[in-house]
Amino acid sequence: MFLYGPQKGVPQKDLQELDRRMKRFATLLLRARAEAREDLLAFPGAGAAGGLGFALALLGARLFPGADTIAERIGLPRAIADADFVLTGEGQSDVQALQGKVPIAVARLASAQGKPVFLLSGSLGEGANELLPYFACLQAAVARPTTLAELLPRAAEDLYEAAVRLFHCIARRENTGRLGQRSVARTIRKNGRSGQDKAPPLPYNDIGGESP
């Protein structure tokens, strides 16, 4: 509640009361289902998807880490083994990513195989520095103070520019060899951006890498 409630529009003054009511409701559900595990309120994954994990576990379902399970089902470890580097991303990267979100799961799988991991995010939020140990470079599409009205019309342009900056980071790493510089060139040619053969300087809220 205290982490995601404000993101969904819950006023700060209402957090304590809503949290108390939710715990009370969950306790009543546990009492009504005697065979349910008593520790479900604190069980990892119980709060996932707005409490869906708790509801399913209450009905007897077994919970597994979502990102790890999906990665295994789609064969991601095998794909990583055949890759030179790994590129992942999400809408906003902040300290919450450490609580089981996909980019961190991908980073752990890649790191276990000695593959560098690069993150392309819509924006970098509070605590993004905590993600530095997991990624060789982080880049954000939203690289300046702006409003939603200003952002939407140029979203594709911002994402493209962030991708070019990220590929310059990739090109600078020795263990990507000749793939990096050629990937940047191919990306620019494919998108028809003649004249943009040099990435713009890294903005203030990008983390990792260097300005070319």
pLDDT tens, 97-154? 887 789 999 999 999 999 999 999 998 888 888 999 999 999 999 877 788 888 889 8
159-169 pLDDT, tens per residue?
999 999 998 88
For residue range 171-200, what is the model confidence (pLDDT) as tens digits? Answer: 887 544 544 445 445 544 555 544 444 433
Enumerate residues 6+ apart whose C-beta is below 8 A from 126.
94, 95
pLDDT greater than 60 at residue 211: no
Q: Which residue has the tokens 């990792």?
A: 208
In which residue ranges of the chain is CATH 3.40.50 found? 68-190
Q: What is the mean pLDDT of the chain?
A: 79
Query: What pTM does this model have?
Result: 0.66
Q: Is 1 helix (H, G, I), strand (E, B) or coil?
A: coil
| CATH-assigned architecture of domain 68-190 | 3-Layer(aba) Sandwich (3.40)
